[in-house]
Structure 1
Amino acid sequence: METIKANGLEFGYLSTGDGPLALCLHGFPDSAHTWRHLMPELAAAGYRAVAPFMRGYAPTTVPPDGAYQSGALAADANALHEALGGDSDAVIIGHDWGAFATYGATAHAPDRWRKAVTLSVPPMNAMMSGFFSYDQLKRSFYIFLFQTPLAEMALDRAFVEALWRDWSPGYHPTADVDNVMECLSTPANIAAAIGYYRAMLDPSRLLEKYAAEQESAVKTGERPTLYLHGVQDGCLSPEMADPNTVLTHLPPNSRADLIPNAGHFLQLENPKEVNRQILTWLS
């Protein structure tokens, strides 16, 4: 575990290897340990793999301004690129909320990144047509729960375990949930994780200082992107991640694929195939 200051926050991060930066960003409810299968392979391929804990997830500090919009996450990614000494050969890999950060970071500062990989959350414009279907609204109940004052009471270990069971059927996440609960060890950390979702639906929570990155987060960027989605994803329906549809919202020369034998946390459920696709893409 190391720490570094970027965008006004102190980030805790895991790292291995030497070479061009490969920044790996986790989502909810997860931690930097989610990249434990991929990071050694990135290092073996000649990258410096770095997995920070996202803003508000301990040991990374809780942002004093309460900013959790996608633009703030994109700003964090680009600031980490700067602080870690990244150059134009750097690559960025994001899962779930990390995918939102990746779309925004590469669109806002394309010169910082050579290629991108996103997992489990397609571009926002690709999602909109299916998000309000009855099936997807049932899957997304937690987003609406998190808008209420009950959210902080609901987000305990049992709730996190249930989400993992629903989102990745058949996977046993005990160690992963242990890591999540360490990241959400204080009321402030719990409020931070919920804050991502409150910023998603409440425009009053969007800080003007991240307006440019926020605008970039919903645009089609320039950097070729590999998008992967688990066939058994219980969080976002695979129908919302049809490769042909997703590709219409990704930059030119991108790729999209569905991963068999995997749900929402595909990098942990089918690491052999996910790692193969990512390493092939980056090479």
Structure 2
Amino acid sequence: MDEPGFIDVAAPGVTLRVLTWGPPDAPIALCLHGFPDTAHGWRKVAPLLVDAGWRVVAPFMRGYAPSSLASDGSYHIGALMDDALRVLDAAGPTGRDVFIGHDWGAIAGAGLAAMPDSPFTKAVIMSVPMPASFQPLGRVPDAGRLATQIPRQLLRSWYIMYFQLPWLPERSAKWVVPRLWRQWSPGYRADEDVRHVEEAIGAPDRWRAALGYYRAAVRNTKPPAQYAELHSHWLSAPRMPTLYLHGLGDGCASADYAHWVERVLPEGSAVALVERAGHFLQLEQPEAVARHIVDFIGRPSG
């Protein structure tokens, strides 16, 4: 397949560079990347989705070059949701569009899947369980089984608390990024992907923006008013048919969490665990991931 094209989308507070694959009149599969990754992380799955009849549209998330920094300073989940909706509008919605979110894209995707009157017809959430899976606190089914996950998860999630520290995290990009790729997807050679990440968030102001996602979420700061309504949805259960994918070898979050995800999914949803894949399953097992996705979202021309 040819190299992707691109469009630039002006959203409130940010200009987003968006990679595109496939014919401009096909239904859209809007793909949202996470951390520490870029829109290039969809490069292996995109051709397979295009072959199935989809147009793949993948923005660099706000703060990730060549998208701009957020001039409004917001890296809240509601802002990420708003960006996704602006990208869909700019790309040309068809009424048959879907979204696919990985890591932070999955967190934003949880909100998009829960919002009423969504312009999307189906959702694919990858590698990060939607928060509704573990609600309400204190009354989650199989609470004992879930509790056994907590000690190991705290160790896996060391970076989240580390990112809350002053001064030190801002000087850590060069060792944190490759370490997380090794930890989260053991055995995957991530040299090319790490180079893409360095180009996107290697500069100090860009790295600070990437840290801003974690700081806004953990500190529960209030989003700007224009994102508040969207932001309110991300803790809710999905309303649309949703496919949840998780790599069995994920070193970021256990694939066992799929047990709790399954209980909050609406009718028409599905869960699949991908063998020989870690956190970045779309890069490690693109054929298997694309097959699961196409089986779920269908072939528009079929």
TM-score of the two chains, using structure 2 as the length reference:
0.88
What letter is aligned with 2:70?
P
Residues in 1 aligned to 2:221 and 2:13: alpha-carbon distance in whole angstroms: 22
CA RMSD of aligned residues (A): 1.6
4+ residue runs over 4 A deviation: 127-132
1:10 aligns to what SS in structure 2? Answer: strand
The counterpart of 1:253, out of the listed 257, 268, 276, is 268
1:204 aligns to what SS in structure 2? Answer: coil
The equivalent of 2:173 in structure 1 is 155
The percent of aligned pairs where both chains have the same amino acid is 44
Deviation of residue 84 (structure 1)? 1.3
Which 5+ residue runs of structure 1 have no aligned equivalent? Answer: none
In terms of mean alpha carbon deviation, does 5-14 or 84-93 score higher? 5-14
1:269 aligns with 2:293: no
Deviation of residue 206 (structure 1)? 3.1
Correspondence list, 1:230-249, <5 A: 230-242=247-259, 245-249=260-264
The equivalent of 1:95 in structure 2 is 102
The equivalent of 1:281 in structure 2 is 296
The equivalent of 2:208 in structure 1 is 191
What letter is aligned with 1:61?
S
Which 5+ residue runs of structure 2 have no aligned equivalent? Answer: 1-5, 136-142
Correspondence list, 1:52-201, <5 A: 52-127=59-134, 130=146, 133-149=150-166, 150-156=168-174, 158-201=175-218
1:211 aligns to what SS in structure 2? Answer: helix
The counterpart of 2:55, out of the listed 20, 35, 48, is 48
Figure out how many residues of one structure are paired with residues of the other and give that number: 280
2:233 aligns to what SS in structure 1? Answer: helix
Larger Rg: 2
1:152 aligns to what SS in structure 2? Answer: helix
Do the aligned partners of 1:104 and 1:214 also contact (CA within 8 Å) in 2? yes
The equivalent of 2:139 in structure 1 is none
Do the aligned partners of 2:9 and 2:86 also contact (CA within 8 Å) in 1? no
1:38 aligns with 2:49: no
1:4 aligns with 2:9: yes
Do the aligned partners of 1:77 and 1:102 also contact (CA within 8 Å) in 2? no
Do the aligned partners of 1:225 and 1:255 also contact (CA within 8 Å) in 2? yes
1:220 aligns with 2:237: yes
TM-score of the two chains, using structure 1 as the length reference:
0.94
Residues in 2 aligned to 1:127 and 1:184: alpha-carbon distance in whole angstroms: 31
2:89 aligns to what SS in structure 1? Answer: helix
Do the aligned partners of 1:106 and 1:112 also contact (CA within 8 Å) in 2? no
Residues in 2 aligned to 1:282 and 1:113: alpha-carbon distance in whole angstroms: 11
